[in-house]
Amino acid sequence: MDSLISKFRIVAGMVLFLLALATKNLQGQASAPMSRYNFQLESRVHYGFFIHHHLEMGVFNKHFTGFELALQKSTFGKQQWEVLYQYPLVGIAFWYSPLGGFKEIGQGYAIYPYINYPLNRNKDRSINFRLGLGLGYLTNRFDPIENYKNFAIGSHLNAAVSMYFDFRFRLSDRLRMMAAIGLTHFSNGSMRTPNFGLNIPTANVGFSYFIMKPNPYLDRMLRPQLYPFEFDGKRWFSVEFSGALGFKDMTQQIGQRFLVYNVAANALKQVSPKSKIGLGLDATYDASDKSILDLNSIPYDHGWQLIKPGANIAYELLMQKTSLLFNVGMHLGSKEKSEGDVYQKLAVKHLISNNLFASATLTAHFGKAEYIGFGLGYRLDFKYY
C-alpha cells in the first residue's frame, strides 16, 4: 500500500510539474512580443499619364510606365497610433518613370516614406489608402533660353506626394498581390517658377514578399501605454504659437525672389484620440506685396497695410508625434489682394519635445500654391473636466 501511495505521489507530482510548465509556456507565448522586423519587399509597375490642369500642359499628351520598389513593415500595436489606425504598413519607396520621353521634362525620380492605412481588412484581403510624402527629382527643368517649353516646373528638386487606394490579396503566408489606382504629384511650392506642377494618375499592380516568416494575423491587440503627448480620454484643449519663414519666387513676373514671414496661433480641442478641431489667427508679411502695389501704382500709407491678418478654422489629424494640420480661412485686411481673400494651409508638424514642434507649411489661395514655410512652434496644453 505504501508503495502504491509513493507511486501515486510521484505521478501526481510529474503531472503537476508538466501542467505548471505548460501554463508557463502558454503565458510566455501570450505575452511574447511581436517581432519588430516584419519587413516586406514590394515592387509595383505603373501605367499613367499627365493631367492637363493648365492649357499649356496639353502638349505633354502620352501614356507612360513607371516603376516602384519599396521596403515596408507591418505594425502590431507597439505604439498607440498603430492601434488607432488599424495596424498600418509603414515603409519607404523609390519611384521612377521616363514620363513619356518628353525632352522638356526629362525623367522623374522620387523617394518618400509612406503609411498604408487599412480601410477594410481581414486575414486574406484588405482595402487600403496609402499616403507618402518625400522628395522628387526631375532631370530637366524650365530655362528661359534652353528649355522654355517646359511650362510645368522650374526646379530639379521638388516635393513628391503619393496617394493610392489599393487592394491587397494574400497568395501565401509570405506573398501578397496588390492592385491600385492613385496619384503622384511633383511641386516645389512656388519656391521657383513656373510651378504648375506635375499630376500623374496611375493604375498599378505589384507583389510584396515577407523577408522572414511573418507574425500571425491578429484581429485585435491591446493598446500600449500612453506617452505624455498622447490623448488619455480626458478633456483637453491646447493653444499653440508658431512662426515660419518661406521663399516666394516671382522671377517671371517681377524678376525677384522674396521672403515671406508668418506668425500663427491656434486654439484646438481634442475630440478623439485621432482628431482636434479649433480656430486660428495668423498674420503674414509677404515682401512681394510691396513690389506688386508699386508695379500697379496702388498707393499705401503705412507699412502695416502690407500685413495680411487672417482668421481660420482648423482640423488636426494626429499620428503619435507627427500630425497634419489643415486651416481654411480669410484675410481680414491688406492692400494687396490679387490672389483673393480665401486661403488654405496644410502643415506637417512633428513634436521635438512634449511641447516644442517643428513644421513645414504649404500656403495656397484657391488651391494655387503660394509658398512653403518652415518654422517652429510651442504648444500649451490645458485639461478641464
**pLDDT higher than 70, residue 311:** yes
The predicted pLDDT at position 317 comes to 95
Residues 53, 196 within the same domain: yes
**pLDDT higher than 50, residue 10:** no
CB count within 10 Å of CB 183 equals 15
282-297 per-position pLDDT tens digit? 999 998 888 888 888 8
Residues 251, 352 within the same domain: yes
What's the chain's average pLDDT?
86
Percent of the chain past pLDDT 90, that is, above it, reads 55
Is 222 part of a structural domain of the chain? Answer: no
Residues 67, 164 within the same domain: yes
pLDDT band at 367 (very low <50, low <70, confident <90, very high): confident
Residues 279, 333 within the same domain: yes
The predicted pLDDT at position 197 comes to 87
Residues 58, 143 within the same domain: yes
CATH code of residue 284: 2.40.160
pLDDT band at 8 (very low <50, low <70, confident <90, very high): very low
Residues 101, 187 within the same domain: yes
- Residue 169 structural domain: 39-210
Residues 191, 317 within the same domain: no
93-105: average pLDDT: 95
Radius of gyration of the chain (CA): 27
CATH code of residue 53: 2.40.160.20
Is 12 part of a structural domain of the chain? Answer: no
**pLDDT higher than 90, residue 199:** yes
CB neighbour list of residue 208: distance below 8 Å, 6 or more residues apart: 40, 41, 42, 43, 70, 72, 168, 175, 176, 178
Residues 168, 242 within the same domain: no
Residues 192, 287 within the same domain: no
147-157: average pLDDT: 88
Residues 46, 145 within the same domain: yes
Q: How far apart are CA 79 and CA 230, in angstroms?
A: 10
Q: How far apart are CA 381 and CA 289, in angstroms?
A: 36
pLDDT band at 231 (very low <50, low <70, confident <90, very high): low
Candidates 365, 362, 361, 364; CA nearest to 377 is 361
80-92 per-position pLDDT tens digit? 888 889 899 999 9
Is 379 part of a structural domain of the chain? Answer: yes
Angle at 191 between CA 280 and CA 307, to 5 degrees: 40
92-120: average pLDDT: 96
Q: How many domains does the chain have?
A: 2
